[in-house]
Structure 1
């Protein structure tokens, strides 16, 4: 296992990678949930983050999530961050094997956001206990844009930064 030195501290490459993935997932997840709550508030006319997060939890536990109060909203938030971490993990693990990701990270990050939206809406939601709403192009395009900018872009930029630094500091 290679050792990377940053700021005079030695750390294993795998530990550094895990921290980078967790940070990217946390940043992307935070940006995404803030955007989702904001857009949801605009569409519904009221600010209801607890309800939105209960909706996330309902994917696993069904409609009873809406009766679970703040506790179920926290479950939804945990699920939300788990998905953000999963998307960060996949991108970070693919990055060293797909050289084209190093070039044009903004483009690939934005495209990765479309991939994330497609996976969530084409696989995750249909397999969940969420009752699907009728398709709405306006909402879909807004949600795609959010995932492009708030999930794909930060993950791609953070992966590029991590791997650029890793190559520079590798002993």
Structure 2
């Protein structure tokens, strides 16, 4: 990718796609805890609250849009800070892992508690570790790799 905007868009699109596919495959298909529609409606509920679950399939489209907006924001942030943090340039693998963990922290300890004031307490259990791993492999590493490729050229 030759442009800054194109690089951010590509990394956000890939990260967002991998993340939503992982959520659907793991939570809806493998663990059968929910459905793809409910996953997307849950994302939309951050804005539309309970209406997201009764608003029909169009709410899933809003959820998908919000999901990609969030992924693009995380891609833009990483791309923006990359030139200023030498740690990110030393190891793409380490940077991707750390960024995935940072994304989990921001989403689960900052954003979600603001959007949903009443949430179950977090504990270090299998579901938490699984969600961290998804964000490392689907958000942190792809964004780190694509951003590094842009800056290395």
When normalised by structure 2's length, the TM-score is 0.92
- CA deviation digits over 1:118-154, x for unaligned, max 9? 0000111011147524535211100000000100000
Q: Could you list the runs of 5+ residues in structure 1 that have no partner in the other structure?
A: 1-5, 166-171
Q: Distance in 1 between matches of 2:66 and 2:117?
A: 14
- CA deviation digits over 1:93-128, x for unaligned, max 9? 011111221111111101100000000001110111
| Pair 1:58 & 2:51 matched | no
Q: Distance in 2 between matches of 1:130 and 1:25?
A: 27
Number of aligned residues? 151
Q: Relative to total residues, which structure has the larger strand share, 1 or 2?
A: 1
When normalised by structure 1's length, the TM-score is 0.83
Q: Could you list the runs of 5+ residues in structure 2 that have no partner in the other structure?
A: none
In the TM superposition, what are the counterparts of 1:87-166 in structure 2 within 5 Å? Answer: 87-129=74-116, 131-135=118-122, 137-165=125-153
- CA deviation digits over 1:26-56, x for unaligned, max 9? 000000000011121133356x211110001
Moved beyond 4 Å, runs of 4+: none
Q: Distance in 2 between matches of 1:91 and 1:51?
A: 29
Which entry has the higher C-alpha Rg, 1 or 2? 1
Instruction: Say whether the 8 Å CA contact 1:60–1:129 is kept in structure 2.
Output: no
Q: Distance in 2 between matches of 1:43 and 1:55?
A: 17
Root-mean-square deviation (CA), in Å? 1.7
